[in-house]
Amino acid sequence: MSETTARFGPVVSKKLHGVFWRTRAFDAPLVQAVIDHTQLDVHAGYETIDEFAEIAWSYAGRPWLTRVSDSFSNCTLGMALSFRTPSLEEVMAAIKHAILPKFYTQAWVDSGDLEQVWEAMGIPQEIYADNALEFTGTVYAIALSSVGISLATSPPNTPTSKGRIERGFGTFNQYIHRLSGTTFGTSNLRHLSYDGKTYACHDIAWIWKVLHMFIEDIELKWSKGIQDQPRRRWREGVRRFPVVLPLDLEQFEADMSIHKSRTIQRGGIEYQGLLYSGRPLEELKLRNPDVQSFSIRIDPEDLNFIRVIDPQTMRPIRIACTTARVGPYPLREHMLVRRGLRQDASDVARANSAASARRSGHLQATDQSALEQRARAVGDAQAAVRSVSRRSSTPRLQPPPDASEAARLRALQMLNSSRIAPESPDDAADSDADDGDHA
């Protein structure tokens, strides 16, 4: 089909070969394993222990399922669950779960929840995936090549090349729709007034156990795709071609973990808010004083310890977490706990900011009233000063208007009395007679 597409185009290729073209046939198990993600049609949460030592349930959303399937028998080799969009951590966890034996299912068989132990295990020769970023990264390629697994990617925009695993996801969601809190997907029940979040009551650990029940039910039924039961086909293939398991489990755990680089600080190594320290880490630092950054390996299914690679021997050294926990502590649970703590911190910060805003508003109003009172006092003082200065600029002793008028009249009289009048002829003759008499 790809050759016809290259020569004549996609229209002619689809007409000649059709959409549902045949996939590659295999004669033995673990020749090819297919991996992909899907979001389950159910709302779930997680259980925590509160400060009163009581179990509290918190809603987390719709979980994502990462599944690894065998192309020969159509059996599920491994899987991983997470509440966030799948990344490299979920891919590594699903592949490691697919390779290692599932001894933990024996307890569920003894309790009657399962009929048989999950038998699928072993290192596949090839892992087939799409072109997502988590399947094309360098760390992913190095981890698989260290175990001896080759990589293969599907052509872009061709989900039919992984038709079996896509069909398996549809079967899983058909089982999921029987649970409370389901979303119904695109079924004919969407017209009902049913809100899945309202009826969500399942814990992620219980969803994990229910998926095991679904897998056993599916693999014990007849499959038209392989014309056989998947579990019986797997057993027949393993009888002819035995599975291959890792020889060094500690090295395998280190190779199939998350690869990071960290500097050994005074308190130890920090990862996602957790601190790892101990005597082996101190001895490793003393043996390698010139090394600044050490390569570490994080198991996404258990954060109770990490592995630090010794630069001299290239062997992993297990370093325990300073915060001890009972049982495995997966990364998905830690991320949920951190998200809850961040949400609580944001709520507290929001409440504190609201109280601070109210307090600052009250203080601002108080300061404003104080400023207004002070402004009024300053205005009154300035008015008083202006009135006093206006009174001091005018003369204090000012004669009344009548006295000034009398003084003016008296001055005019004095001026008129002191003025010399001109002489008349009669006056001149009188003055000459007087002069003669005196002579």
Backbone φ, ψ for residue 124 (5° rounding): -80, 155
Q: Which amino acid is at 125?
A: Q
Does residue 289 sit in the same domain as residue 317?
yes
Does residue 104 sit in the same domain as residue 207?
yes
- How many domains would you assign to the chain? 3
Q: Let me know if residue 122 belongs to a domain.
A: yes
- CA pair distance 64, 70, nearest whole angstrom: 20
Mean pLDDT of 308-323: 91
Q: Let me know if residue 78 belongs to a domain.
A: yes
Q: Which residues pair with 320 in a beta bridge?
A: 305
Q: Let me know if residue 395 belongs to a domain.
A: no
Q: Which domain holds residue 350?
A: 333-361
Q: Let me know if residue 390 belongs to a domain.
A: no
**Confidence band for 346, pLDDT divided at 50, 70 and 90:** confident
Does residue 154 sit in the same domain as residue 219?
yes
Give me 177's structure tokens. Answer: 């729709």
Does residue 246 sit in the same domain as residue 300?
no
Does residue 141 sit in the same domain as residue 198?
yes
Residue 324 has pLDDT above 70, yes or no: yes
3-state helix, strand, coil in the chain (%, to 5): 45, 15, 35
**pTM reported for the whole predicted model:** 0.70
Does residue 221 sit in the same domain as residue 339?
no
Domain end, chosen from 205, 232, 253, is at 253
Q: Let me know if residue 272 belongs to a domain.
A: yes
Does residue 245 sit in the same domain as residue 266?
no
Does residue 311 sit in the same domain as residue 338?
no
Does residue 298 sit in the same domain as residue 243?
no
Q: Which one is predicted more confidently, 213 or 398? A: 213
Residues 102-120 pLDDT 10s: 999 999 999 999 999 999 9
**Confidence band for 397, pLDDT divided at 50, 70 and 90:** very low
Other CB atoms within a 10 A radius of the CB of residue 303 amount to 21
CATH number at residue 202: 3.30.420.10
Does residue 184 sit in the same domain as residue 261?
no
Does residue 163 sit in the same domain as residue 293?
no
For 140, which DSSP code? H
Does residue 202 sit in the same domain as residue 231?
yes
For 420, which DSSP code? P
